[in-house]
């Protein structure tokens, strides 16, 4: 199976095949092969950052005649890709690969002046024998992709919620909510349960797209059609970095539904 990367939409997926030949970290199924000094929470514009690569190779020396390539991309402007100028921060080649063993390498980059504050999604590549892709959304034949959500500072909640309400209307339950601001908000999910502390079930088929932004909010409406009874609803906002916040629950009784 190819490694597609784990960054959430709208970040593009890409594939590396045969990562069993070489991979980052101790486990090819985990994103555990890259670390930073200092930690991302201490990054400032102009600061020099050391990247620590942890590489595992599983073939003998003859398999690596051309060495191994490393590339690291960081989405400095938070636009959901890694193809802008300056977002490939590491482009390095390591030739001293001696077969089956574990390696540690170091590279450095400087935090650019134009970087935005908040969380950064990063994509790390390793590939033997061939240069890794120029952009973070391209695929390569051998190696591994690892995606990281780098917390550079504590960021505000994605959504400032003004109101969230559930009301019975015409044999249906109408859910309405309003936001004041939405920072990097991807959208919303709604959940329903029969008891307040029970198991909540997702009721929208797809993520409800965000309509607000960092300076203005929006109003939303969703209609649910369950059977008669008492229900509890929760609203979830989810940002582009995969961070979510739950609101509610709101209680409502339906008397004339199905």
Are residues 120 and 185 both part of a single domain? no
Residue 8 has what pLDDT?
Answer: 76
2 falls in which pLDDT band (50, 70, 90)?
very low
State how far the Cα of 149 lies from the Cα of 157, in Å rounded to an integer: 16
We report the CATH number of the domain holding residue 184 as 2.60.40.10
Is 115 or 235 the better-scoring residue by pLDDT?
235
Residue 212 has what pLDDT?
Answer: 92
Q: Which domain holds residue 202?
A: 159-254
Are residues 26 and 114 both part of a single domain? yes
Are residues 165 and 142 both part of a single domain? no
166 in a structural domain = yes
E runs forming strands in 58-143: 68-74, 88-94, 101-110, 119-128
Are residues 138 and 39 both part of a single domain? yes
pLDDT per residue as tens digits for the range 234-254:
999 988 766 778 999 999 999
Which of 108-117, 124-133, 157-166 has the lowest average pLDDT?
A: 124-133
Which of 8-17, 132-141, 209-218 has the lowest average pLDDT?
A: 132-141
Are residues 65 and 87 both part of a single domain? yes
87 in a structural domain = yes
pLDDT per residue as tens digits for the range 204-217:
999 999 999 888 99
User: Which one, of 121, 117, 95, lies nearest residue 186 by Cα?
Assistant: 121
CA angle, residues 239, 241, 247, in degrees to nearest 5: 35
pLDDT per residue as tens digits for the range 170-200:
899 999 999 999 988 889 999 999 999 888 9
User: Which one, of 138, 132, 166, 171, lies nearest residue 258 by Cα?
Assistant: 171
184 close to 120: Cβ distance less than 8 angstroms: no
Residue 37 has what pLDDT?
Answer: 92
Are residues 177 and 136 both part of a single domain? no
State how far the Cα of 49 lies from the Cα of 36, in Å rounded to an integer: 7
pLDDT at residue 258 above 60? no
Highest mean predicted confidence (pLDDT) among 5-9, 85-89, 221-225: 221-225
Are residues 45 and 129 both part of a single domain? yes
Is 134 or 77 the better-scoring residue by pLDDT?
77
Which of 10-14, 108-112, 171-175 has the lowest average pLDDT?
A: 10-14
* Final residue in a domain of this structure, among 117, 133, 151: 151
Q: Which helix (H) or strand (E) holds 189?
A: strand 185-193
User: Which one, of 30, 120, 39, lies nearest residue 84 by Cα?
Assistant: 120
- pTM of this prediction exceeds 0.75: no
53 in a structural domain = yes
Are residues 177 and 107 both part of a single domain? no
pLDDT per residue as tens digits for the range 95-107:
767 767 788 889 9
pLDDT at residue 61 above 70? no
- Three-state DSSP class for residue 252: strand
State how far the Cα of 160 lies from the Cα of 214, in Å rounded to an integer: 10
Are residues 125 and 28 both part of a single domain? yes
Is 13 or 190 the better-scoring residue by pLDDT?
190
Are residues 122 and 208 both part of a single domain? no
Highest mean predicted confidence (pLDDT) among 50-64, 69-83, 118-132, 153-167: 69-83
Residue 238 has what pLDDT?
Answer: 86
Q: Which helix (H) or strand (E) holds 220?
A: strand 219-224
27 in a structural domain = yes
- Three-state DSSP class for residue 37: strand
Q: What CA–CA distances, in Å, run from 58 to 27, 42, 71, 84, 94?
A: 12, 35, 20, 34, 16
Please tell me the total count of domains within the chain.
2
Are residues 176 and 95 both part of a single domain? no
116 close to 84: Cβ distance less than 8 angstroms: no
**Residue 19 backbone zone (phi > 0: left; psi -120 to 50: alpha; other: beta):** alpha
């Amino acid at each position: 199976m190819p490694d597609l990367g784990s960054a959430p939409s709208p970040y593009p997926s890409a594939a590396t095949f045969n990562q069993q030949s070489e991979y980052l970290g101790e486990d090819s199924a985990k994103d555990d092969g890259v670390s930073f000094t200092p930690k991302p929470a201490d990054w400032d514009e102009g600061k020099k950052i050391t990247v620590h690569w942890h590489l595992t190779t599983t073939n003998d020396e003859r398999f690596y005649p051309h060495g191994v390539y490393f590339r690291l991309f960081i989405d400095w402007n938070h636009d959901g890709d890694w193809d802008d100028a300056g977002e490939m921060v590491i482009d390095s080649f390591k030739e001293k690969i001696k077969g089956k063993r574990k390696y540690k390498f170091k590279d450095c980059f400087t935090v650019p002046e134009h970087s935005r504050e908040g969380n950064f999604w990063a994509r790390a590549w390793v590939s033997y024998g061939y240069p890794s892709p120029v952009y973070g959304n391209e695929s390569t034949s051998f190696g591994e992709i690892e995606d990281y959500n780098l917390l550079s500072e504590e960021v505000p909640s994605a959504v400032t919620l003004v109101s969230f309400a559930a009301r019975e209307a015409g044999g249906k339950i109408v859910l309405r909510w309003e936001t004041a601001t939405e920072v990097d908000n991807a959208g919303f999910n709604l959940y329903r349960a029969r008891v307040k502390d029970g198991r909540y079930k997702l009721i929208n088929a797809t993520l409800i797209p965000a309509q607000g932004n960092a300076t203005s909010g929006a109003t939303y409406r969703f209609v649910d059609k369950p059977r008669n009874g008492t229900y509890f609803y929760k609203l979830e906002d989810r940002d582009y970095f995969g961070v979510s916040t739950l609101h509610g629950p709101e209680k409502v009784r339906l008397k004339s539904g199905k």
